[in-house]
């Protein structure tokens, strides 16, 4: 599968998720645009048997759901490109505005000349800075994610990710 096809699939998943979340298919519909936001992030990705490196991600977030696309390339021995598309159910902590946690699942692809696909799961924890009482306003955030259940022919990419990002 070409990179163009993978990029097209990422855009399609994010578009469907944004429409579905906005229409209330995954829970309560929110009329206010304040509950929808795009986020960009970069950080440390430990991708199990593939090593670790800097990775990048983009999220479309509502109050209760997040659709994500991530990319990391590793240079530990083999050059591997790792793409993922995932969905996450979020729970916001009312006693600590701006703090959230969640769990989700996603599709992972490794390319190193050939390619291999896997389905995996993740848990995450995040904290927003700036104006946490007004979700949707531009703000910085940190996010920690642990990916597990990704089995490929040559190993797995289970591991920890820590990111710093900006919500728009």
The three-state (H, E, C) secondary structure of 22-76, written as one string: HHCCCCCCCCCHHHCEEEEEEEEEECHHHCEEEEEEEEEECCCEEEEEEEEEECC
CATH, domain 3-167, list 3.40.50.720, 2.40.160.20, 1.20.1250.20, 3.50.30.10: 2.40.160.20
**What DSSP element (H or E) covers 103?**
strand 99-111
**DSSP character for 94?**
T
| Ordered per-residue pLDDT tens for the chain, 168 residues | 555 555 555 555 555 555 544 444 444 443 445 567 899 999 999 988 888 889 999 999 988 999 999 999 887 666 788 999 999 999 988 888 788 999 999 999 988 777 888 899 999 999 988 754 555 567 899 999 999 988 877 678 899 999 999 988
């Amino acid at each position: 599968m070409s990179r163009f096809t993978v990029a097209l699939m990422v855009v399609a998943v994010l578009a469907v998720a944004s429409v579905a979340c906005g229409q209330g298919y995954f829970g309560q519909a929110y009329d206010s645009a304040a509950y929808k936001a795009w986020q960009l992030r970069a950080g440390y990705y430990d991708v199990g048997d593939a090593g670790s490196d800097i990775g990048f991600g983009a999220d479309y977030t509502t109050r209760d759901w997040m659709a994500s696309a991530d990319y990391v390339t590793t240079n530990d021995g083999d050059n591997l490109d790792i793409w993922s598309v995932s969905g996450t159910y979020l729970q916001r902590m009312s006693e600590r505005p701006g703090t959230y946690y969640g769990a989700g699942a996603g599709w992972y692809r490794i390319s190193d000349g050939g390619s291999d696909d896997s389905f995996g799961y993740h848990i995450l924890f995040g904290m927003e800075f700036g104006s946490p009482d007004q979700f949707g306003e531009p703000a910085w955030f940190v996010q920690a994610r642990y990916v597990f259940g990704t089995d490929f022919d040559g190993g797995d990419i289970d591991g920890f990710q820590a990111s710093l990002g900006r919500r728009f």
